[in-house]
Structure 1
Amino acid sequence: MSGPGEIVRIAARGDGVTAEGRHVAGAVPGDRVAADGGVLEGAHHVTAPCPHFGPCGGCQLQHADDTVLADFVRDRVLGAAARQGIETLEILPVHLSPPATRRRASLHGLRTAKGAVLGFRAGGSHRIVDMKACPVLHEQLFALSGPLRAFIAAHGGKGGIEARLTLADQGPDVALTNVALDGLAATEAALDLARENGLARLSIDQGYGTETMWEPEPVSVTLSGIPVDLPPGAFLQATIDAQERMASDAIAWIGDASVVADLFAGLGTFAFGLLTAGPAKRKVLGVEADRAAHLAFKAAGARTGGRALALHRDLFRAPLQPSELARFDAVLLDPPRAGAKAQVAEIAASELARVLYVSCNPASWARDAARLVENGFRCTKLRPVGQFRWSTHVELVSLFERA
């Protein structure tokens, strides 16, 4: 039983909430609110590992221990399900990504009179918190913060700069916007940045579109043992551990399905796992709208002996119809945050018996899940995933089967 003023849960944006419904910033379950409004820390309140916690908008929950973090991730998913009346037969343990495992991030930079600042934006602000430490980023990406800051100080244009960092098989892939390479010296400085810091690729947008300045060998990312070309800006799961956890669930839950459609397939994060760990004769169709990702998937699929096929198609405007879905034993979908309303409507109207749904937005997932349940599916397995450690961003993987 909780007493008056005790924090009992964390709200969607990270505030602690008392049993009476009062929101308290910087509080976690087990804390108490003192008479003067201060927070009396409980057993689950920990010291934030980052000196920028609070001002930096990259993390909201570094003051919570792993028990609270896992409960928050689970409750976000189950709360969204409950609001749509969705019951789940089996809820699997929450997966939390460890610290220092983020392999992709977008940082913001700004050239200043004294040099440059580089980091994440402050919460609810355009102000950049100059990053001197980051317990979230993979060490290879964080190691670039100093060299990038120096480069921006020398060559950054007017206004803000975005630095998109991705850890590829060959090393860090860096894409910069609003950087002016005026003259040979600036171009040589960019090449020195890439060479001295072991970049796999350096791309720069000087206002005329992105140009690749440095790429000694084709940049790739290995997915379930299969190397796939990595187009600049292509989507990847934020951490390898979460990717592997969700892929393992997908492999187990798809079962012995011999023909599978991977919708919103991207580069093939799940498709190639379903091939390498599934039945020897399994075939997977990867459907993707982004042309660069589609072509990368198609090229990698060509090396699977015809088992991975690619289809370039916008599933928002032209979802697969029930007659097309009838060719598959199971479907996996991993849509953007908006969900897959149009495609789920066609799945609901089909005779499919098994659907695996990966989502980065519990609200849109729950809306789509309700449509499936209304049409005879049950949510039989559900795993909440917190790969954006210490943030309020929550993901999940789920299985729906015909009742």
Structure 2
Amino acid sequence: MTIQPRIEEDGSPREKTDPISSCSQEYALDGRIHLNGNSLGAPRHSLIPELGHLISGQWARLQVRGWFQEGWLDLPRTVGDKLGALLGAKPGQIVVAGETTSTTLFNVLVAACRLRADRPVLLVEQESFPTDLYIAASVARLLDRRLAAVSRADLDIRLREHGDQVAAALTSPVDFRTGERRGIGETTALCHDAGAISVWDLSHAAGVLPVDLDANGVDLAIGCGYKYLGGGPGAPAFTYVPVRHQPDVDFPLAGWHGHARPFAMSPRFEPADGIDRARTGTPPVLSLAGLNHALDPLLEAGIEALYQRTRELGDYFLACLEESRPDLAKQLASPRDALRRGGHLAVRVADAERVEHELAERGVHVDSRPPDLIRFAFAPLYVTKDHIRRVVDIVTAVA
């Protein structure tokens, strides 16, 4: 894809010169406005011929030979290295094994606790996404660890005061409800000061925020492929393991593609060197191809430009809302400072679920979260300022 500058609908100087603003025409939006990219990213029009070629030009033509002649076996690493460019990780440290986010998180949390086998506590934020809480509780039961679920505000305090008991701390750089950010470098440093393993769920940050995994010294991380990354419904999750931990990390899910010699069909598991030991079963090629295709325009734009565009769109939304509905603007549940929030804004609205459905009937996709939040997400490649003005007009009418 070649990004060409064009004049955006509102004719603003930034939109005239910003090459990202031209990308929305490449996405299959079906005439609707998608402000829920933090739940499911929109596909590009070119995905259909891309998958068609894979099916007719590779799978149908080559059958099983496609694994060896078309790079299918390498896709978990190929896509992982692409993600590394967005997430600040050097090649060979991210793999997309083909598992769900839940399975990937389970695998990583068990491995994190095994790295600190002498410590009794698994620490997690109470405000985490429900799956993170469920998986953390399951891992704690499985490994006979004590689960400590503390408030977002108290997690750093717990690390400072009782960190010597913590095996691993699970958190996220973006609160999935309010969009409030947590400093990855600061919390990771607290983990290291306490001798604990830092584990990050990047699902609401990947593709929209700089996370700088290597520079921040993150120990382990996971994230899904279907939100801002746009890999499609249920796109597989990724695993980050820095080189320093790769020789020692011990994953509980030991599949044949994580074996040092997978085609030897050995009855005894011997983990592969490097990031490949995080692989499990046969890669889901169609899903990986969809994610691989979705990453190209994100990489071409670059994470800093994507982040800048997201901040601008969020600020523009707030300015429009304050002008049209100052009463709603006062119900903002997210930080007003763009540097303290992720890719979405949350507004408290009475009967939020009804408002979500009425917006959908008028061609606007958002999502509500109980009890009273509506989240507006600003995926930088296909949301424009014209979209935002139209959404605020509709919100003014229905909320």
TM-score, normalised by the number of residues in structure 2: 0.35
The structure with the largest alpha-carbon Rg is: 1
Give the structure with the higher percent strand: 1
Which structure has more RCO (C-alpha within 8 Å, separation ≥ 6)?
2
